Amino acid sequence: MRNEFGDRQCPTLTLITFITFSHSHILTFSHPHILTFSHSHILTLLVPHRIIGIVCTSPGWGGLELNTLRLARWLCEAGWKVHLITSGNTPLHLYAADAASSVQVFSEHGLPKKSARLRIMNAWIRRYKIRVLFVPFNKDISAASLYKRFYDNDIGLVYQQHMQVGVRKRDLIHTLRYAMIDVWIAPLQYLKAETLRLTHVKEKRIEVIPFGIETELFRASSWDRDSARAALSLPPDAWIIGVLGRLDPKKGQDLVIHALKQLHDAGQKDYQVLLMGSTTIHEGDAFSKILHDLVLEYGLEQHVHFRPYADDVMVFYKSIDVFAMPSHGETFGMVTVEAMAAGVPVVGTDRDGTRELLGEGRYGFLFEREDVAGCVSQIEAVRAHPKEKTVAARTYALTEFSHERMVARIGQVLNELLDEEPADSK
């Protein structure tokens, strides 16, 4: 349902308490949005009011943008009013209407200067009565912190980290900028530790809340191995190593092709590789060409299969025997969690998000960055003992990384900010 502005409506909640004067008097209502209690003299009604605004101007189309849209949709389903402001003519803008309560752009023609952006943000915030800003894109922290400092110091500001801090950011500009952030959400413990080491963000402001997946999609699937392979035109009897993600030098797909060559040279010809994904948006297809040329050089044209993203990700996971995460360094790695939840054994680079998600080896098989021989060794270990770690990994993924768990924890953070009294009233 949409309102007079054409914005998609979703139910939201707040609590209003009424006092009665009879301990024995019971009040009841038939309206579906009202809950009644006959405890002492308190009657609590549920009415719409929980509102947040997501600011995300990322021009890309990857994990950050997909996670942002999922979170907007999940929060809306959980009873929040979620308004999104973004850049025009971006993939995020294109797909946001089905996720958020309303979508606004700063401009249809690129991103305006920061001063103009702040004025647009101010009008947007006032129109929708937004009391918490949620920022998932690190390049938007600057504008959001300036808004809080100079326009409305009482508005809540939450940053959900999708990228590593990377370098030391203890200078005055970053310190002043980050000081405006009320809650810094780090999806993993190593990111919290890095933030404390490289910035002046206080530990009490950092919450570790992992990204979530819709676990029900991974508990049961209509696909089995044979139907999934038939759908992707893959050989039914091959032992397939799968990599899912955009084709990018830092994602390390070339390492898996080198590993396949070593396996074939050792006489293990039934190994094959499935690379599912597309090129990085706005960055051309140079790396894709490198991968195809490498396959031709090694004579592996019949053994390496390139496929575009599938609408149903389970067709990928059901078609492979092992999932490889050869990335040079993953901030998080949603596909690693998905593979574990799907019951597929995982081999991955022993660093950053992959290391933590795999429990430093408890839930998967680790190898050093760009170590082809190490990758081969771990793939062979999986084949020798395919169920050794997958049962525990699946249980861990389905328990710890459910989207319900993530939304509940983020909802608690937002509620705490909304329930704080404005500074001028304290």
User: Does residue 248 share a domain with residue 149?
Assistant: no
Torsions phi, psi for 29 (to 5 deg) = -135, 150
Q: Where are the beta strands (DSSP E) in 250-298?
A: 271-276
User: Does residue 368 share a domain with residue 232?
Assistant: yes
Q: How far apart are CA 351 and CA 330, in angstroms?
A: 8
Tokens representing residue 330 in the block: 């993953």
Q: Which domain holds residue 38?
A: 1-49
Q: Note the pLDDT tens digit of each residue in 354-381.
A: 999 999 999 999 999 999 999 999 999 9
User: Does residue 252 share a domain with residue 281?
Assistant: yes
User: Does residue 165 share a domain with residue 94?
Assistant: yes
Q: Nearest to residue 360, comparing CAs of 197, 211, 189?
A: 189
59-65: long-range pairs with CB below 8 Å, 24+: 59/87, 59/90, 59/281, 59/282, 60/91, 60/280, 60/281, 60/282, 61/90, 61/91, 61/92, 61/281, 62/246, 62/280, 62/281, 63/162, 63/332, 63/334, 64/136, 64/137, 64/162, 64/163, 65/91, 65/92
Q: The domain spanning residue 77 has which CATH number?
A: 3.40.50.2000
Pairing of strands 42-47, 14-19: antiparallel
User: Does residue 364 share a domain with residue 246?
Assistant: yes
User: Does residue 31 share a domain with residue 146?
Assistant: no
Average pLDDT, the chain: 88
Q: At residue 119, what is the residue type?
A: R
User: Does residue 282 share a domain with residue 190?
Assistant: no
User: Does residue 5 share a domain with residue 74?
Assistant: no
Query: Which helix (H) or strand (E) element contains residue 105?
Result: strand 102-105
Task: Pick the last residue of a domain from 29, 49, 69.
Answer: 49
Between the CA of residue 37 and those of 16, 166, 193, what are the distances in Å? 13, 52, 45
Q: How far apart are CA 312 and CA 128, in angstroms?
A: 35
* 333 Cβ contact partners less than 8 Å away, ≥ 6 residues apart: 325, 327, 348, 353, 354, 357
What tens-digit pLDDT sequence spans the chain (426 residues)?
A: 444 334 444 443 333 333 333 333 333 333 333 333 333 333 233 434 699 999 999 999 889 999 999 999 999 999 999 999 999 999 999 999 999 999 999 998 888 899 999 999 999 999 999 999 999 999 999 999 999 999 999 999 999 999 999 999 999 999 999 999 999 999 999 999 999 999 999 999 999 999 999 999 999 999 999 999 999 999 999 999 999 999 999 999 999 999 999 999 999 999 999 999 988 666 678 999 999 999 999 999 999 999 999 989 999 999 999 999 999 999 999 999 999 999 999 999 999 999 999 999 999 999 999 999 999 999 999 999 988 899 999 999 999 999 999 999 999 999 999 987 555 444
Interior angle at CA 75, CA 218 and CA 47, nearest 5: 135
Task: Pick the last residue of a domain from 10, 29, 49.
Answer: 49
Q: What is the DSSP letter of 36?
A: -
Interior angle at CA 394, CA 392 and CA 397, nearest 5: 110
User: Does residue 356 share a domain with residue 246?
Assistant: yes
Q: Note the pLDDT tens digit of each residue in 14-23.
A: 333 333 333 3
pTM (predicted TM-score) = 0.86
* 189 Cβ contact partners less than 8 Å away, ≥ 6 residues apart: 208, 356
Query: Helices 286-298 and 253-265 meet at what angle, rounded to 10?
Result: 0
Task: Pick the last residue of a domain from 33, 49, 65.
Answer: 49
User: Does residue 233 share a domain with residue 101?
Assistant: no
Q: Quote the number of domains for the chain.
A: 3
Pairing of strands 51-55, 81-86: parallel
User: Does residue 277 share a domain with residue 196?
Assistant: no
User: Does residue 136 share a domain with residue 175?
Assistant: yes
Q: Note the pLDDT tens digit of each residue in 64-114.
A: 999 999 999 999 999 999 999 999 999 999 999 999 999 999 998 888 899
